[in-house]
Amino acid sequence: MTINEAVAFDGAKPVMTSPTAGLNLSDSVYERLLRERIIFLGTQVDDDIANKLCAQILLLSAEDPTRDISLYINSPGGSVTAGMAIYDTMQLVECDISTYGLGLAASMGQFLLTAGAPGKRYALPHARIMMHQPSAGIGGSAADIAIQAEQFAHTKRELNELQAHHTGKSIEQVTADADRDRWFTAAEALEYGFIDSVITHARQANGTAN
């Protein structure tokens, strides 16, 4: 079965249905984009969104592991664990995932933008990109606080190491730069190494844009 088909069950008998059956206009648009191997992250990153995006990536990769997937990001960020699920799935699949930042790519949104395939990470001219350290809500008993603080330090270190890997910066520089909210224009994000090109037209997304 392909993404253009769906199955419903009438008793014990499977029935093929339209992929847009029961969908509203907004859902139908996203379904049509999915057929073109385009995924859109336009909300905060949470477990529900992560599960949907991971499933879409896995499906598209299974259908054709040789064709790129395009991931458009307009997100203020969100859950680190949910974002890492998306990140790991992006690295897992065989096909390249091109990332496009538009509007706002902040926090985990910035991290996922930077995690795209080398040479295929783009931003639109007026996109804003923001990097910072993960935040932590720590509470409970003294022992619980100590455990949570240890886990937070591990997460912070892991994210900084991955940011350094994808940008070519040193871990020390990334750690210092991310200590507070740091904002970038698209051009500044290109200079820092978050993206590979700033594009104004879709035809530029082929590795040749400046």
User: Percent of the chain at pLDDT above 90?
Assistant: 68
Residues that are catalytic: 107, 132
Sign of CA dihedral 33, 35, 39, 44: positive
Which of the listed ranges 14-23, 81-90, 150-159 does the model predict with the highest average pLDDT? 81-90
Give start and end residues of each alpha helix (H) in 64-107. 80-92
Give the residue extent of every domain in the chain.
23-132+181-199, 133-179
- Residue range 31-60: mean pLDDT, rounded: 96
By mean pLDDT, which of 59-63, 81-85, 154-158 is the weakest? 154-158
Helix (H, G, I), strand (E, B) or coil at 84: helix
- Residue 76: band (very low, low, confident or very high) from pLDDT cuts 50, 70, 90: very high
* Max Cα distance, the chain (Å): 61
Rounded Cα distance, 135 and 125, in Å: 29
Q: How much is the pTM?
A: 0.81
pLDDT of residue 115: 98
pLDDT of residue 5: 45
* 103 φ/ψ sector (left φ>0, alpha ψ -120 to 50, else beta): left
Q: Which CATH superfamily is domain 23-132+181-199 in?
A: 2-enoyl-CoA Hydratase; Chain A, domain 1 (3.90.226.10)
By mean pLDDT, which of 8-22, 26-40, 70-84, 128-142 is the weakest? 8-22
- Residue 207: band (very low, low, confident or very high) from pLDDT cuts 50, 70, 90: very low
